[in-house]
Amino acid sequence: MKEIEKTLENKNVRPTAMRILIYKYMAEKKITFALTDIENAFIKADRTTLYRTLKTFEENGIVHQIDDGTGTTKYALCELGCNCEIEQDLHLHFHCSNCNETVCLTEHKIPHINLPDGYIAEDANLVLKGICEKCSGQ
Amino acid sequence: MKEIEKTLENKNVRPTAMRILIYKYMAEKKITFALTDIENAFIKADRTTLYRTLKTFEENGIVHQIDDGTGTTKYALCELGCNCEIEQDLHLHFHCSNCNETVCLTEHKIPHINLPDGYIAEDANLVLKGICEKCSGQ
DNA sequence: AGAACCAATGCAACGGAAGTGCATTTATTG
DNA sequence: CAATAAATGCACTTCCGTTGCATTGGTTCT
Ligand SMILES: [Mn+2]
Ligand SMILES: [Mn+2]
Ligand SMILES: [Zn+2]
Ligand SMILES: [Zn+2]
């Protein structure tokens, strides 16, 4: 409780009741989630509020967006010490085609790629798709 | 003309007038394109027809879809000898944040990634974002 | 405490893009 | 030519992200 408030304040985000709830939801969840997921978890909350809360969280380095190729944006809590407001943390993401869940593989960074002359890379997105550990039964 | 017809027939796609036009458009274009692009290029054609034509083309290995993270699906003609109906051609794509164009870097394959135990990769998508050669002025 | 102010929330509506059902036209086959 | 199948066009739907604006709630200043 108090801890979450501190965390938010440290990131310059006012710890409102709503925001604390949302943060809690995210912290308990191990995998990534979509706006709709969180919307279903909190019947009370308005979609827009959740949307803007996540946006605020993102702008202040609390969560990061994930584009896993499903067409719906996913979010995940940033790791401790992740400073993705300043520079991107280019870890890869895995999307399971069986359970449809997307996970951050924060240990696995996107390898450096040599581009043709003239191309300047500033950002990268690598998504692997297949069967996750839970679904592969191992 | 006749050549395009042959190409389509070889891929088991009936060479209708519309399809030949669309193929021609794609062949002239060097970069990838969205459904809307092609829609604007052919005032006459209905969006659904274009949509389904591209779908047919994709199912028969004439074009491949590209998810460049912009939210709108891009398409590009497959290379000669590309057999992406059978197995994915996992080359990377580059999206320029200046001119907003996406290009296939067919020479650059997505490197193999070691995943944690239990994860089975079947597909991959790697998109680099930044400044393209045209826009970097080199 | 009360007034003034700003941030957060909620409701409604918009817009882009993908996708589907069905009628109509066009091509293919017997 | 008739019968059949494929391709095209129109209308409509759904999904998701996004914005405008009114309302609520909390903070600060007098
Ligand atoms: Mn992540
Ligand atoms: Mn490509
Ligand atoms: Zn799974
Ligand atoms: Zn460019």
3-class secondary-structure state, position A51: helix
Distance from CA of A128 to the nearest CA of B (A): 4
Q: How far is the CA of B46 from the C1' of C29 (A)?
A: 28
| The pLDDT of residue A42 | 80
Residues facing residue A130 across a β-bridge:
A96, B121
Asked if A57 and A64 touch (Cβ cutoff 8 Å), the reply is: no
Whether the per-residue pLDDT at B47 is higher than 90: the answer is: yes
| The pLDDT of residue B138 | 66
| The pLDDT of residue B56 | 97
Whether the per-residue pLDDT at B32 is higher than 90: the answer is: yes
Question: Burial letters for B3-19: b for 16+ Cβ neighbours within 10 Å, e otherwise?
Answer: ebeebbeebebebeeeb
Q: How far is the CA of B1 from the C1' of C12 (A)?
A: 53
Distance CA A37, CA A42 (A): 9
| The pLDDT of residue B94 | 97
| The pLDDT of residue B18 | 93
B2-136 belongs to CATH 1.10.10.10: yes
| The pLDDT of residue B137 | 82
Phi, psi of B105 (to 5 degrees): -105, 80
**Nearest beta carbon to residue A119 from set B71, B125, B130:** B130
Asked if B107 and B79 touch (Cβ cutoff 8 Å), the reply is: no
Cβ neighbours for B57, distance < 8 A, ≥ 6 positions apart:
B13, B19, B22, B23, B63, B75
| The pLDDT of residue A138 | 66
Mean per-residue pLDDT of chain B: 92
| The pLDDT of residue B1 | 58
SS3 labels along B19-34? HHHHHHHHHHCCCCEE
Token readout for B106 is: 């067919």
Gap from CA of B102 to ligand 4 centroid (Å): 8
B124 and chain A: CB distance < 8 Å anywhere?
A: yes
SS3 labels along A14-45? CCCHHHHHHHHHHHHCCCCEEHHHHHHHCCCC
A125 and chain B: CB distance < 8 Å anywhere?
A: yes
Q: Which of residues 45-74 of B touch strand D (CB under 7 A)?
A: 45-46, 48-49, 52-53, 56
Q: How far is the CA of B36 from the C1' of C17 (A)?
A: 9
> A102-109 and A63-66: which strand pairing?
unpaired
| The pLDDT of residue A123 | 94
CB neighbourhood size of B132 (10 A):
22
pLDDT, tens digit, 9 for 90 and up, residues B60-85 = 999 999 999 999 999 999 988 777 77
| The pLDDT of residue A87 | 76
A87 and chain B: CB distance < 8 Å anywhere?
A: no
Give the residue-averaged pLDDT of B104-119.
95
pTM > 0.85: yes or no: yes
Segments of chain A scoring below 70 in pLDDT: 1, 138
